[in-house]
Structure 1
Amino acid sequence: MANIFVSGGTGFIGAYLVKRLIAANHIVHVLSRGSHASDSPQLQFYEGDITSAEAVQKAMQGCERAYHLAGYARAWHRDKQYYFQVNALGTQNIMQAAIAQGVKRVCLVSTAGILPPAVHGIPVNETARLRPELHTTYERSKWMGEQIARSYQQQVELVIVYPTKVYGPGPIDESNSATLMMRDYLSGKWHVIPGNGSGIMDYVYVEDVARGIELVMEKGRAGEAYVLGGEPASYNRFFELLKKLSQVYHPLFHVPVPLIYGITYVEWLKAKLGYKPLLTPEWVRKIPYDWSKSSEKARQELGYRARSLEEGMQLTLHWLKANPVEIFDDK
């Protein structure tokens, strides 16, 4: 049993990780921007966020290990510097607090989005040369956060996680966009297949990622990063599987990428007026690529395993159908 700090412990992946840590009899300190009532004596909430060095220090007191999952992962913010304030400088606060509090080991959860697309269908691993011109503002800020974290790794053990596209039961928003597409398809709101449908994403079920993060903390080599992926699938494959498993047959239409770009410029004008855009050009330009990732390093070194897309999608559909309020609630 240990005292463990978790930032982002009320978020999509973080909530699953916290449950696992409690089940393993750890005392978990969760830093959260809102106030929460704990339903377990092993779970302690600390109000604040990672942009406050004081709040981070307070929440991390007495902890031996720290998981850093908190971040700003949405597709747009009216102030682009906010991404760096949260994802980069927030990470600096985490690392400095870990050193000050005598934390032995930190697991930083970054994103596989910083890695380049696959070439000739060969999945990309942790050593691939980056393609910064394809990075979104979010990904650039996460990369900066990783470099800041690495600058402290002579003072505290650091391990890094690169999850791919995470999906499954949980909050349905931009950080869980695959489940959002599934929900909207079931309710008849989603009729689009991006581009010609050949663009590939690597889909990983949320419970598998949470277990993988634990494995990285327990067994990962200090200073190393580990991709935690699942199964690559084209958009065409994703929606074929969704129809097959759900037995729901709504019409779907391929929308050319140039047309989607055109829509983003209308959305950009809306953003200038203070409205949140549905799409941004930096995310659209990622559509045609193959974002397959290799989790072989995590499999070989840590014993990481992830279920198939079909199994994970079936579990997610079962949850969506059992919780209809989640299907129709856009909040």
Structure 2
Amino acid sequence: MDKCSSHLFHLKLRFIHRKVGGKSETLEDNQRRRSMKVLLTGASGFLGGRLCHALLRHGHSVRAFVRRTSDLSFLPSLSDGVALELAYGDVMDYPSVLAACTGCNVVFHAAAIVESWLPDLSKFESVNVGGLKNVLRAYKETDTIEKIIYTSSFFALGSTDGYIADENQMHSAKFFCNEYEKSKTIADKIALEAAKEGVPIVAVCPGVIYGPGKITGGNVVARLLVERFNGRMPGYLGDGSERFSFSYVEDVAGGHISALEKGRPGERYLLTGENASFMQVFDIVATIANTKKPSLNIPLFLIAFYGWLYVLFCRITGKLPLISPPAVLVMRHEWAYSCEKAKRELNYKPRSLREGLDEILPWLKKLGLIKY
């Protein structure tokens, strides 16, 4: 029996319910999951940091895979005695990935570059595609990994102009708004092919993640709110016709853990939320903060022009742009999705956009990044 078949066989055994007194008994399985050794790639990122905290709360031992240069300020302190260890390396460096995977029962592969534009576009494929390939290769060369939870993206399914999509949608791959979308689409197909070959991998696809945590390219809502409250975003972005699926970061972290406990290998789960426009985001924020709503709409062509200037500025300063021409291309489409499958199978419970924004605004205010 080859390794993939053996893993599937043992996974099936673990999920067989034993009847005790007429009730299904899975206590041993549940207890074992609570004490699993977990490797978390991308642990220092916006989502990774929240996921690390959530995994520790659920009783797992976490090996956080980070680079030597990573900002670890959002990770739990090792001095607190938590079941956390650091493994240094890079997802593009296979030997370090293999070493980090060794001895772990589960891999949460959340490492990715989440930006709309980079000066070196090849990094999207190197990290977002190459990183997944290295994790899959390490799985084949180790004998302890029982499940891989891969953080995919709504971009991997493609735009939804005029309708709401679910997990059955496959990206046409005929056009990509940016290199991030392209890299996540390629990686998604690699994950699905690996599952067909017997790799116990579950793909979870968050929407536009937002909430307290690192203010990075992956937390674009927080970045836009900082710009809005500091007068650098004087109006709505576009006419409000676009829709995105917004996912609160804590809900997404919880969805990842549910995918470990309940997710079926080979399946994709949309960890999305309320479908809304950025105009609605700004309106809700104005209501919460008791401030005036924007009085004008900034046309997308003007935002694109500003994006080109921002990119030029970035090439001079090295600071990544908040708005770029590829980001404007994304805003010309809709990205609305249904998370009913995750609700049904993972007990995923996304909060409303109003509830999420109710939490992020006081957090930004406490940090002194916004005033209202």
Fold conserved between structures, TM > 0.5: yes
Amino acid at match of 1:42: A
- 1:29-67 per-position Cα deviation (integer Å, ceiling 9, x unaligned): 110013756243400101111111111111122111110
2:251 matched to 1:208?
Answer: yes
CA distance in 2, matches of 1:225, 1:204: 16
What's the secondary structure of 1:171's corresponding residue? coil
* Structure 2 match to 1:171: 214
Structure 2 residue corresponding to 1:5, chosen from 27, 34, 39? 39
Of 169, 173, 185, the residue aligned with 1:143 is 185
2 CA distance for matches of 1:211 and 1:158?
17
The answer for the alignment partner of 1:262 in structure 2 is 305
Matched, 1:21 2:58: no
1:118-267 to 2 correspondence within 5 Å?
A: 118-120=160-162, 122-132=163-173, 133-153=175-195, 154-249=197-292, 251-267=294-310
Match of 1:197, SS? coil
**Residue aligning to 2:349:** 305
SS of residue matched to 1:94:
helix
Distance (whole Å) between structure 1 residues aligned to residue 107 and residue 326 of structure 2: 32
Distance 2:308 2:82 in 1: 50
Corresponding residue for 1:67? 108
Question: What is the aligned-residue identity percentage?
Answer: 30
Distance 1:94 1:274, change over 3 A: same
How far has the Cα of 1:117 moved from its partner?
Answer: 2.8
For residue 201 of structure 2, what is the amino acid of its counterpart? L
Is residue 288 from structure 1 mapped to residue 332 from structure 2 by the alignment?
Answer: yes
Deviation, 1:271, is 5.9
Matched with 1:52 is: 93
Instruction: Report the Cα offset of residue 215 of structure 1.
Output: 1.1
Q: Deviations over 1:107-129 (max 9, x none)?
A: 11011022233343x31111124
- Cα gap change, 1:89/1:238 in structure 2, threshold over 3 Å: closer, same or farther? same
Structure 1 residues 111 and 271, CA gap change in structure 2 (3 angstroms): same
SS at match of 2:194: coil
Q: Partners in 1 of 2:153 and 2:289 — Cα distance?
A: 29
Q: Is the CA contact (8 Å cut-off) linking 2:46 and 2:216 kept in structure 1?
A: no
Task: Write the deviation string for residues 213-240 of structure 1: whole angstroms up to 9, x where unpaired.
Answer: 1111211111111101111112221111
Deviation track 1:86-124 (CA, whole Å, cap 9, x = no partner) reads: 11111111111122222111011011022233343x311
Q: What's the counterpart of residue 117 of structure 2?
A: 76
How much has 1:75 moved relative to structure 2? 2.0
Match of 2:159 in 1: 117
Q: Distance in 2 between matches of 1:145 and 1:117?
A: 17
Letter in 2 for 1:82: K
Map 1:96-115 → 2, pairs under 5 A: 96-102=137-143, 103-115=145-157
Check 1:119–1:80 CA distance in 2 against 1; reply closer, same or farther (3 A cut). Answer: closer
Inter-CA distance 310–278: structure 2 relative to 1 (3 Å threshold): closer
- Report deviation, 1:18: 1.1
TM-score (norm 1): 0.91
Distance 1:262 1:131 in 2: 28
TM-score by length of 2: 0.82
Structure 2 unaligned spans of 5+: 1-34
Q: Distance in 1 between matches of 2:278 and 2:102?
A: 45
TM-superposition CA deviations, 1:108-158 (whole Å, max 9, x none): 1011022233343x3111112424314420111112222333343324201
- Structure 2 Cα separation of the partners of residues 248 and 90 of structure 1: 44
Instruction: Return the alpha-carbon distance in structure 1 between the equivalents of residues 322 and 311 of structure 2.
Output: 9
Residue 248 of structure 1 deviates from its aligned partner by 2.6
Deviations 1:243-264 (A, max 9, x none): 0001133745311122223333
Three-state SS of the structure 2 residue aligned to 1:286 is helix
Cα distance between partner residues in 1 of 2:316 and 2:109: 34
* 2-structure distance, mates of 1:51, 1:258: 36
- Where do 5+ consecutive residues of structure 1 fail to align? none
> What is the alpha-carbon distance in structure 2 between the residues aligned to residue 297 and residue 224 of structure 1?
10
Distance 2:191 2:239 in 1: 39
CA contact (8 A) 1:116 1:124 kept: no
Aligned CA-pair RMSD: 2.1
Q: What's the secondary structure of 2:330's corresponding residue?
A: coil
Residues in 1 aligned to 2:302 and 2:207: alpha-carbon distance in whole angstroms: 27
How far apart, CA to CA, are the structure 1 residues paired with 2:305 and 2:39? 44
CA distance, structure 2, for counterparts of residue 161 and residue 2 of structure 1: 20
**Map of 1:87 onto structure 2:** 128
